[in-house]
Chain A
Amino acid sequence: MSALGVLDAIRPSDQVGVDSVVRPGTSKVSALATDSKTQSSTRDAVVQAVVASMRDALRRAIRRAEANRTSTNLAALIQAIPDNDNSLDRPGLARETLALALARDSSGSVLDPSSARIAAEVLTRIGQGKYAYDALASIADDETLRMTFAAVAASLGRYAEAIHALEGIHTAFADAHRGYIAAAQEKWSEAVRFLRAALHSEPDDVDSLFNLSIALWNLGSTKKATRTALQATLVSPGRRDISFNYLEMLLGQEDLDRFEHEIKRLRASGIDSDAGLTLFEARGVARRGNHPRAIALANQARALATQNGDMATRILVDANLPFLKWEAGRVTRDQVTNHLRTLISQYPDAEVVLIKFAQMASRKSDAQLLRDARTRVGHMANVYNAYLDHQIAVLEGNAHDAAAAASEWLRHEPNNPGAAAAAVISLGIGEERWPEAAAVAEEALRRFPNEKSVVNNAAYVVAMAGNPAKAIAAIEHVGSDDFVLKATLGLANLAAGNIAEGMRLYREAANQAEGDDPSLRSLMTAYQALVMRQLDLADRVPGNELQAIALVPVALPDDWDNRPDFIRLKNVADRHGYPWPLTTDLN
Chain B
Amino acid sequence: MSPERQQWVNALTGQQLGGYILDGYLGGGGFGMVFAAHHATTGAEVAVKVLDPSGANDANTVADFDNEGVLLKKLVRRSHVINWHETSTATVPVTLGVGATVATVQLPFKYHVIARASGVLDEITSDPSLLNEMDWLERLSHWRGVILGVHQMHLSTVAHRDLKAENCLLMAGLKNSVEIRLTDLGRSKDFSTPPRYVVEEYLQGRGDKRHAAPECLLLLAGSTEADFRLADLYGIGSVLAELATGQSMTALALNWQDVIQQAMIDFRAGIQIDPGVLRPRYNRAFEEVARHVPPVIQKEVTDLLGQLCDPVAADRLPKAFGRRPLKTDGLQWLLRRADIAHRRLEAHIKQKQMNGRKTAG
Chains A and B come from one and the same complex:
yes
When the two chains form the complex, which single residue of B132, B257, B288 contacts A82, counting CB atoms closer than 8 Å? Answer: B257
**Cα–Cα distance between A107 and B292 once the two chains are bound (Å):** 13
**Set of chain B residues within 8 Å of A34, measured between Cβ atoms:** 265, 268-269
Segment at the interface with A among B43-51, B247-255, B328-336, B338-346: B247-255
Pairwise interchain contact A54-B268, C-beta atoms closer than 8 A: no
Pairwise interchain contact A50-B210, C-beta atoms closer than 8 A: no
**Set of chain B residues within 8 Å of A239, measured between Cβ atoms:** 262
Q: Does A311 contact B (CB under 8 A)?
A: no
**Cα–Cα distance between A475 and B198 once the two chains are bound (Å):** 69
- 0/1 per residue, B244-282, Cβ < 8 Å to A? 011100011001111011111111111101101101110
**Cα–Cα distance between A115 and B132 once the two chains are bound (Å):** 14
**Cα–Cα distance between A171 and B283 once the two chains are bound (Å):** 10
**Set of chain B residues within 8 Å of A236, measured between Cβ atoms:** 262, 273, 277
Instruction: Please provide the chain B residues from 168 to 208 with a CB less than 8 Å away from any CB of chain A in the complex.
Output: 200-201, 203-204, 208
**Set of chain A residues within 8 Å of B264, measured between Cβ atoms:** 47, 50-51
Q: Does A309 contact B (CB under 8 A)?
A: no
- Contact count band on B: 35 or more
Pairwise interchain contact A172-B267, C-beta atoms closer than 8 A: no
Pairwise interchain contact A114-B246, C-beta atoms closer than 8 A: yes
Pairwise interchain contact B256-A79, C-beta atoms closer than 8 A: yes
Pairwise interchain contact A144-B255, C-beta atoms closer than 8 A: no
When the two chains form the complex, which single residue of B30, B256, B267, B279 contacts A202, counting CB atoms closer than 8 Å? Answer: B279
**Set of chain A residues within 8 Å of B288, measured between Cβ atoms:** 113-114, 117, 144
**Given contacts A29-B262, A107-B132, A202-B283, are A238 and B277 in contact (CB under 8 A)?**
no
- 0/1 per residue, A40-75, Cβ < 8 Å to B? 001101110111011011011101101110111101
Q: Does B16 contact A (CB under 8 A)?
A: no
Pairwise interchain contact A29-B246, C-beta atoms closer than 8 A: no
**Given contacts A29-B262, A237-B273, are A57 and B268 in contact (CB under 8 A)?**
no
Pairwise interchain contact B276-A204, C-beta atoms closer than 8 A: yes
**Set of chain B residues within 8 Å of A47, measured between Cβ atoms:** 264, 267-268
Pairwise interchain contact A57-B209, C-beta atoms closer than 8 A: yes
Q: Nearest Cβ in chain A — how far from B237, in angstroms?
A: 15
**Given contacts A105-B128, A117-B288, are A60 and B257 in contact (CB under 8 A)?**
no
**Set of chain A residues within 8 Å of B277, measured between Cβ atoms:** 204, 206, 235-236
**Cα–Cα distance between A101 and B260 once the two chains are bound (Å):** 27
Q: Nearest Cβ in chain A — how far from B169, in angstroms?
A: 17
**Set of chain B residues within 8 Å of A70, measured between Cβ atoms:** 126-128
Which residue of A has the minimal Cβ distance to B211? A57
**Given contacts A79-B256, A144-B288, are A43 and B268 in contact (CB under 8 A)?**
yes
Q: Does B287 contact A (CB under 8 A)?
A: yes
Pairwise interchain contact A68-B269, C-beta atoms closer than 8 A: no
**Cα–Cα distance between A59 and B209 once the two chains are bound (Å):** 12
Which of B1, B208, B256 lies at the interface centre, i.e. has the most chain A CB atoms within 10 A of its CB?
B208
Pairwise interchain contact A50-B255, C-beta atoms closer than 8 A: no
**Set of chain A residues within 8 Å of B265, measured between Cβ atoms:** 31-34, 238
Which residue of B has the minimal Cβ distance to A198? B280
**Set of chain B residues within 8 Å of A56, measured between Cβ atoms:** 30, 208-209
Q: Does A111 contact B (CB under 8 A)?
A: yes
Which residue of B has the minimal Cβ distance to A64? B126
Q: Nearest Cβ in chain B — how far from A108, in angstroms?
A: 11
Instruction: Please provide the chain B residues from 113 to 138 with a CB less than 8 Å away from any CB of chain A in the complex.
Output: 123, 125-129, 131-133
Pairwise interchain contact A75-B247, C-beta atoms closer than 8 A: yes
**Set of chain A residues within 8 Å of B210, measured between Cβ atoms:** 57, 61, 76, 79-80
**Set of chain B residues within 8 Å of A60, measured between Cβ atoms:** 29-30, 208
Which of B247, B268, B274 lies at the interface centre, i.e. has the most chain A CB atoms within 10 A of its CB?
B268
**Set of chain B residues within 8 Å of A63, measured between Cβ atoms:** 1
Pairwise interchain contact A25-B125, C-beta atoms closer than 8 A: no
Q: Does B299 contact A (CB under 8 A)?
A: no
Q: Does A318 contact B (CB under 8 A)?
A: no
Pairwise interchain contact A173-B251, C-beta atoms closer than 8 A: no
Pairwise interchain contact A72-B260, C-beta atoms closer than 8 A: no
User: Which B positions have Cβ atoms within 8 angstroms of A?
Assistant: 1, 27, 29-30, 123, 125-129, 131-133, 200-201, 203-204, 208-210, 219, 245-247, 251-252, 255-258, 260-271, 273-274, 276-277, 279-281, 283-284, 287-288, 291-292
5 contacts between A and B (CB under 8 A): A50-B260, A72-B247, A105-B128, A112-B245, A271-B269
Other than A54-B257, A117-B288, give 19 A-B pairs with Cβ distance below 8 A.
Answer: A25-B281, A32-B269, A47-B268, A50-B219, A50-B260, A54-B209, A68-B126, A70-B127, A75-B247, A75-B251, A112-B128, A114-B288, A115-B128, A115-B246, A115-B247, A142-B291, A205-B280, A236-B273, A238-B271
7 closest pairs, A vs B, by CB? A202-B280, A72-B246, A112-B128, A270-B269, A205-B280, A114-B245, A57-B209
